[in-house]
Structure formats: structure tokens, C-alpha cells
Amino acid sequence: MHPLDILRLDTLAQSLVKTIMLEAHRSKSFALLDERVQRWIWRNEWTELHDVQEQSIPLILAHEHDVLLCAAMASGKTEAAFLPVLSSMLSQKNGLGLTIYISPLAALINDQFSRLTGLCENLEVPVHPWHGGISPSIKKDFFGNPCGVLLITPESLEAMFCNHGYEIPQLLHGTEYIVIDELHSFIGNERGKQLQTLLSLAEERTEKNIPRLGLSATLGDVELAADFLSGEDRNKRPCDIIVSESNQHKIKLLLKGITEAPQALSAHAEQLPQSEQAVPQALSALPLGTEGRFDHLGANENTNGDGGGEKSFTFSAVETIAEYLFEKLRGTNSLVFPNTRSKVELFTHLLSSYCEKNGLRNEFFAHHGNLSKEIRKDAEEALRSKEKSATVICTNTLELGIDIGEVESVVQIEPPPSVSSLRQRLGRSGRRRGQAAVLRAFSIEKAQNPGNHPFSQLRERTFDLCACIMLMLEGWCEPPSPGGLHLSTLVQQILALIAECNGLLPEAAYNSLCVRGPFQLIDKKDFYILVKALIAQELVEQDARGTLLLGTLGEKRVNHFSFYAAFESQTEYRIVAQDKTLGTLPINSTMQIHDIIIFAGKTWRIQNINDKNRTIEVSFFGEGKAPVFTGSGWSTHTIVRARMKELYASNKEVSFADSNARRLIDEGRTVFSEYALNKRNNFIIEKNKYAVLFTWLGDRANRTLQLLFRHHKIASYTGGLGLTIPGKSGAEIADFLHELQETEIPPLETLLDKSQNLFVGKWDWVLPPRLLKKNYASLYLDLQSAREWLAAIVTTQAP
């Protein structure tokens, strides 16, 4: 017998064995797949389908409903979508048809192109990557034969609609499915509204319902996510929800506490335990149902590896953490998340310099949005390398599912932007079968001092981090907020629709965007007010028949490549005192003249705000004894603050904390008890020059209360567990709160009357004042929670 014949028989035997193994698992879904897809599964030596794949295949092949797939990272979600999608495409009698895969990142498209090419090449299904870095010749191939799988970002799809509007019905006519990866990244933001509009227009242009498949590992509320995917009227457009709990990896956790003294650090204040064996083994602080997946970093976690004693640090907290990470992460593939770009650069510099000083190959790389694509790519390639280890210090740029190989551990420095973000970050670790996900978290606190702000005395950052970790272990993350108007994105979509259609009547635009499209919270009156504003700004003009056309400025804006993105990078304000620039901050809260802000450890009163030049003029107000103003841009959820309060009131040990973190927790609980914050009627603390109002609410509700105080001529600032009110006593604040019980709360638009810094979205500068306030309130304020809080303290009495 010829050797090739023997090889063919051997391959056939292997395939038969795999088939028998799949059948042994009673995989009904496997039998539904096209035979050519089954062969691909055989060749890749699969012995079973993952749970999410078993559930998704029959639902997607039915081609009747939208399908939401929520499963852990590395659970096979991509294959869960594409195995049945490709089987369906291969069964079409009139050609393959088209599947559109929408990704939030161009880098993720590149990854999926490599991944899907291996699946599709033997099926003779073309795969078309499409984003700004793809050559025109590849895009031209798609226009010549619009079938197969199109991998695209919302921005590139927007450009296709704008620049090839007359071709869209033909290009998308064969669309059978639309797959949306990392669905959570679109919910509740500008890109999400843009994506929903494009989905609606795609169906309008093709005159058919196209099944939508949403993929995510991080959804706080699957029902709200399904509403986002399919629309709130699910009777008209049903959505099948798949939540797979399989492939949950074991998690190893460690929270390390760092206390940074203002000058020389005492040995007690800055001791980092050399051995992490001191972490208790009890799981009393964990919620029920998590014990089986959780473990401590313990026996092998020695700072220097010499097995004894403790190390006292006399440097800054950043240097302390950097030295620890240098010892722990060298020789591993890891991700470090310090939250801000500046700290990414600082940690990368320190860790790289340690390599240089020790004559070692550099293993530490930076990755954030301000770096060039080439530098980010180098960092990603370093992680993918199987020959050399690498650690990347990054912002949220590496949260999403870019292929970066096997990551052994994740480091979170200070509280994450959200529980959702922490969950996404940890999901990058432990993706290999049998490997645990590893999280090291660091909490940095000031040395305890009676003069510190109560939030600092309460060790707020430590409790915030603990609450985020515990909520993550329970499977909770922030649900989407569906009430935002997103008028900035509506402006963009009006201009895009005019460009696509080469002009249209206002009624037609309203019907496409606000009746059939996603802007259904916008009534016709406000829509026409917005159109008039566009005309006044020369973005739009109207001919004698009433047709909307692009105006002089509109033509210029739409024809620029930057138009297609619904968002823009956060703009920072310069903080100026007596013509001297103190620095810059990304400021996300509404401000008014005479408000107080915290910067560089001091308090400043706002004298003038120039939104056009992004400048805030301030005068010195006093020494800062308040929490540092971070300008972080994220909003902490009320559930996180509620969990923090539970932790303060509890005496249970936090089992994943090291000895220093446990000491910080004990200190916070002691202060909580001393201030009697465990008593229901005690929510005001009076200090020497200010009062602190503890609300335990999320940032959106706290901002609303701040506006209410401002409306009554009381200056305050938010940030943390409530509001800080300079120059007021506790009794004055208590009296004011009681007066509020007899006062009707005005509409949010009224509370925002004198507010500035409301330009948050890319096109907010177009909005008339009333719509600008209405839009801001819908996105960043929470009147209902503020009202409920005020109602709950009616019967309370201040100390």
C-alpha cells in the first residue's frame, strides 16, 4: 500500500474516533452543522463542543430570533456564533450570502481575521477585514463580490453608508446575520447609539429583518442587554438569551495594602509583608457559591524569595509597588492596570529602569491610546511571543478580547473604573484549561492623621477595591443605563443620513432615526428644534422644497475622516491661577462660577470658565484636607457604595487581604464606628472648616444633590461617599436638608441653568441650551435616586 494511502486511512480513523467521542457526549448540535464544518472540528481535534456552542447552534440555525451569547472569556463564543452561521451560509441555494461581524476595535478585527481565515479557507468562504488600516484593493474586492464574512468597526460601516449610500441596498442585500462582538462595550454610550442606528438602517435598506448575534463576557443585566441588541419591544423582535456558566476558572486573589506617609515613612507605616502566607485561609468574607472558585495567593508569594522576615520601604507607594512587581512578574506574561495614562508611563519607566540597572532584558512595555499603533503593536507582539516573557502596563486598551496569548496574571492598582472593567481585566488571565486566573490588587492610602478628610480616614479606596472584588466574585457588574438621549450622536446621524441619501425631508429623517431607529425618546418637537440649530450653524441647509442638504460647514465636517466616529477623546481643561497654569485635568462634572475644586492638594474657587478654550481660572481658597480630585471620568455605581457600607459595618475578615490591607480595613472600621456612621440617623460629620454629608449613593445621584445644593446657594463638591460642603456646620446642613423636605425639587434643566462644562459629547456644541441641559441630565444625573435618598431621611435627625 502506498504511504499516502496509509496516511489517508490513519486520518480517517482519527476522524472516526473524534466523531465517536462527540457522539458519546450526545451532541445533538454537532449533527446539525454542515458536514464541511464538522470536518474542520475533526481536524482541530475537538472531542466535545463547549456548553455555549451546544446551546447556540440550534438557535442560530433556526434563523428566527436574535441571540445573545453571554459566556466567560475563552469559552468559545466566536465559534459558538460562526459554526452555525457558516453552516447556514453553506446551505444557501443562491450563493453564500453575507455575515457582518462588528467589532469595537480594529486590532480585534485583525485577530478575528486570522482566526476565521483558518476556519473559512477550506469552506471557500471569503473573509473581508475592513478598517482604516486595510488597503483599498482589499476593500475593492468586497465591492466586487459582497459575500462571505465582513469584519468591520461601526466607524467604517458609517463611512460605507456615507460614501456609498446608493450602493448600500445592493451591497447588504445578501446579509443573513450581523454578529456584534464585545457587546457590553457599546451599551449606554455614543458608539452604541451609532451602532443601533446602523443596524436599523441596514434592515431598512435591505427591507428585511436580519438576525443579530451579540457576544459578551461582561453583562450586568442580560435582559437590558437584549433590549439593546433587539429593541425594547421584544414581542415584535424576540431575542433568545444564552448564559453559559461553564468554563469558569478558579481565581487566585490577593489585595495588598500600601500606606504612604507624607515624608519619611515609618517602618510600621510602610511594611510590606515578605511572605504572603499570612493571608488567612478562611473564606468567611466571600459570598455563598464562590468558595469553589476562589483561592489565595499564598505559599509561593515571597517578596524576595528568602523565606523570612519583613521588608520596610522608605520610598513612595509607586516605587514600593514597582519593586514588588519587578520581583513577582519577571519571567511571566502579565497585565498591569494603573487606571491612568500618566501612571502607565510612570510604572513602565520604573520597571524598565530596574531591568537596565540589573543588566536584564527589558520585559516591561507600555500600552495606551495616546501611543502610536506601532508601539502598541510591539507590546502586543511581546505578549504573544512564546519564547520571551513580557508584562504590559496598560489602560483599558487591553481590556477587550485582543489576542495577546496566554496571560498568567493581572494587576489592578487602586480601585478599577467599574466592576465590569475589573471583571473584563481579570478575564484576560487563566484562559488555558486548568489554569487559575490570578489577580493582585493594590490599595494606596495616606498615613492616618486626624486632620485628613474623613474619606481618607475611612480608607475609602481600600473599601472601594474590596467591594469591587466581592461584587465581581458574585457575578454582578453594572447594568446599562437605558435612559440617555445621546443627542450628540443624533446630530452625527442626521448629517450621516443626509450624506447617504444626498438629501432628504425632515419627516423622513425623523422616521428613520426616531420612529424606526433607536432615538425613540426624542419627540418630534425637540427633533425639529435640533434641525433648526443645525441650519443656524450652517451644518445643514434647506432648499425650497424643504429637503435637508449638507451646509457649508456640514460638507467640510462630513468629508473629513474624523466624522465617522461618534465620540472623541476626552478633552482636558487647563487650571489657571493668576496667569499661571497649575496643570490639566479631564473634568466631567458640571461646574459653575464660585464652585470649589480640589487640585494639587489645595482647594480653589472657580472664577471663570471658558469652554471654548477649555480653561478654568481659579483663586486660592485654602489648604486641601479633602480627597484628591482625580478627574477619572467614570461613575461609581450606588451598589458599589452600598457594599462598601456593608463592609464598614461588618466585623468579618476580608479573606483575600494581606496583613497591611487588613490593618487598613480595621482602621476604616474603627473610624466608621467612631463617627457613629453605623447609626441610621447619623450621616453628617462636621470638621473644622467644612461638613461632610454621607449619602452612600453613586456618583450620578451625588452630582444631582450637588446641583440641588448649588441651586440653594450652597457650594459643595462630590467625590467619594457623599458631598463635602466648605464653610458650613453640620447643624446648618441638617437644617437645610429638613427645609428641602418642604421644597419641591425643580426640574433638572432648571438646576443646570447656570452650569457650564456641559459639552461632553462630540457634537454637544451644536445643541441649543435647553436640549444641552436635557441631554446632560439624561446621561450624568439621577434625580430618582436623589429624591429617594431625601425621602428616606425625613424622619432622621442630625447629631
Question: What are 118-174's pLDDT values in tens digits?
Answer: 889 889 999 999 887 788 888 888 898 899 999 999 999 999 999 999 999 999 999
Q: What is the pLDDT of residue 384?
A: 85
Strand-strand pairing, 409-413 and 334-337 = parallel
Q: How do residues 72-111 score in pLDDT, each as one tens digit? A: 777 889 999 999 999 999 998 888 999 999 998 887 888 8
144 Cβ neighbours under 8 A, 6+ residues apart: none
Answer yes or no: are the C-beta atoms of 341 and 370 closer than 8 Å: yes
The 8-class DSSP code of residue 515 comes to I
| Banded model confidence at residue 261, pLDDT cuts 50, 70, 90 | low
Q: How confident is the model at residue 23 (pLDDT cuts 50, 70, 90)?
A: low
- The distance of Cα 120 from the centroid of its chain, to the nearest Å, equals 31
3-class secondary structure, 698: coil
Strands 334-337 and 294-296: unpaired
Cα–Cα distances in angstroms (integers) from residue 754 to residues 257, 571, 710, 771, 782, in the given order:
42, 21, 10, 14, 19
Mean pLDDT of 465-477: 93
If one counts every other C-beta atom within 10 angstroms of the C-beta of residue 379, the result is 24
**Using an 8 Å Cβ cutoff, are 495 and 537 in contact?**
no
**Distance of alpha carbon 172 from alpha carbon 152, whole angstroms:** 13
Sign of CA dihedral 60, 62, 64, 65: negative
- Residue 303: the pLDDT is 32
Q: Residue 630, exposed/middle/buried by CB under 10 A (0-12, 13-18, 19+)?
A: middle
pLDDT tens sequence across 714-756: 988 888 899 999 989 989 999 899 888 778 888 888 889 888 7
Question: Would you state the pLDDT for residue 588?
Answer: 56
Q: Are 123 and 41 within 8 A, CB to CB? A: no
Answer yes or no: are the C-beta atoms of 176 and 210 closer than 8 Å.
yes
Rounded mean pLDDT, 480-497:
93
Span 634-685, pLDDT tens digits: 689 999 999 999 999 999 999 999 999 999 999 999 999 999 998 877 899 9
User: 3-class secondary structure for 267-316?
Assistant: CCCCEECCEHHHCCCCCCCCCCCCHHHEEECCCCCECCCCCCCCEECCCC
pLDDT for 54 equals 95
**CB-CB neighbours of 25 under 10 Å:** 12
Q: Confidence band (pLDDT; 50, 70, 90) for 246?
A: low
> By the 8 A CB rule, do 693 and 781 touch?
no
What is the predicted pLDDT for the residue at 275?
33
| Residue 283 pLDDT exceeds 60 | no
DSSP classification of residue 479: P
At position 483, the amino acid (one-letter code) is G
Quick one: pLDDT band at residue 299, thresholds 50, 70, 90?
Answer: very low
pLDDT at 590: 66
C-alpha cell at 149: 464574512
Q: What is 29-66 written as a DSSP string?
A: HHHHS-HHHHHHHHHTT--S--HHHHHHHHHHHHTSSE
- pLDDT at residue 508, as a whole number: 97
**Predicted pLDDT of residue 27:** 81
pLDDT over 80 at 568, yes or no: no
pTM for the whole thing?
Answer: 0.82
Strand-pair partners of 623: 602
Please give the pLDDT value at position 449. 85
Residue 304's pLDDT band (cuts 50, 70, 90): very low
* Residue 534 in grid coordinates: 443645525
Average pLDDT, the chain: 83
Lowest mean pLDDT among 52-66, 505-519, 717-731, 763-777: 717-731
Per mean pLDDT, which range of 97-106, 266-275, 332-341, 362-371 is the poorest? 266-275
How much is the pLDDT for 396? 81
Dmax (CA) of the chain = 99
Q: What is the pLDDT of residue 578?
A: 83
C-alpha cell, 339: 487606571
For residue 572, what pLDDT is reported? 67
Nearest-angstrom CA–CA distance, 334 and 650: 34
Query: Which of 14-23, 259-268, 303-312, 386-395 shows the lowest per-residue confidence on average (mean pLDDT)?
Result: 303-312
Q: Is the pLDDT of residue 176 over 90?
A: yes
Span 283-288, mean pLDDT? 30
Structure confidence at residue 440 (pLDDT) = 96
E-assigned strands of 74-160? Answer: 98-102, 127-130, 148-152
pLDDT in tens, 407-444: 899 999 999 999 999 998 998 887 666 678 899 999 99
411, 334 contact by CB (below 8 A): yes
- Cα(646)–Cα(679) distance, integer angstroms: 13
Kindly indicate the confidence band of residue 796, based on its pLDDT and cuts at 50, 70 and 90.
Answer: low
Most confident of 104-118, 167-181, 580-594: 167-181
Q: How do strand 717-718 and strand 573-577 relate by DSSP bridges?
A: unpaired
pLDDT at 611 over 80: no
The beta strand positions in 313-420, using DSSP E, are 334-337, 364-367, 391-394, 409-413
Contact 439, 295 (CB under 8 A): no
Residue 6 has pLDDT above 90, yes or no: no
Question: Does the pLDDT value for residue 5 go beyond 60?
Answer: no
Cα–Cα distance for residue pair 235/258, rounded to 1 Å: 53
> Could you tell me which of 281, 237, 303, 305 has the C-alpha nearest to residue 65?
237
Per-residue model confidence (pLDDT) at position 799 = 42
| pLDDT > 70: percent of the chain | 83
Confidence of residue 179 (pLDDT cuts 50, 70, 90): very high
Whether 269 has a pLDDT exceeding 70, the answer reads no
Region 61-79: mean pLDDT is 89
Q: How confident is the model at residue 547 (pLDDT cuts 50, 70, 90)?
A: very high
Q: In terms of DSSP bridges, do strands 294-296 and 251-260 run parallel, antiparallel, or are they unpaired? A: parallel
The confidence band for 386, taking pLDDT boundaries of 50, 70 and 90, is: confident
